[in-house]
C-alpha cells in the first residue's frame, strides 16, 4: 500500500489535520521565519 515511511507519514498527517489547520501552520511558520531573519538582518545593519 505505502512504498515508504515518508508516504505513510504524509498520509497520516493529511488524515489528522484539516486543510485550514495546515494552511495556518504554514502561515505561522512563514511569519515566524520572516521575523527571525528580519531581526537578524536588522541587528547586523545596526552593527554597521
Q: Residue 4 has what pLDDT?
A: 85
Question: Is 36 within a domain?
Answer: yes
Question: Is 43 within a domain?
Answer: yes
List pLDDT tens digits, range 14-41.
777 788 888 999 999 999 999 999 999 9
Q: Residue 23 has what pLDDT?
A: 94
CA distances (Å), origin 3, targets 6, 8, 15, 31: 8, 8, 18, 34
| Buried-exposed string 7-25: b where 16+ CB fall within 10 A, e elsewhere | eeeeeeeeeeeeeeeeeee
Query: Grid coordinates representing 41?
Result: 538582518
If one counts the domains in the chain, the total is 1
**Three-state secondary-structure class, residue 34:** helix
Q: Residue 19 has what pLDDT?
A: 83
Q: Residue 39 has what pLDDT?
A: 97
44: domain range?
A: 19-48
Amino acid at each position: 500500500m505505502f512504498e515508504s515511511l515518508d508516504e505513510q507519514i504524509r498520509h497520516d498527517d493529511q488524515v489528522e489535520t484539516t486543510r485550514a489547520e495546515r494552511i495556518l501552520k504554514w502561515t505561522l511558520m512563514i511569519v515566524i521565519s520572516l521575523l527571525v531573519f528580519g531581526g537578524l538582518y536588522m541587528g547586523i545593519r545596526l552593527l554597521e
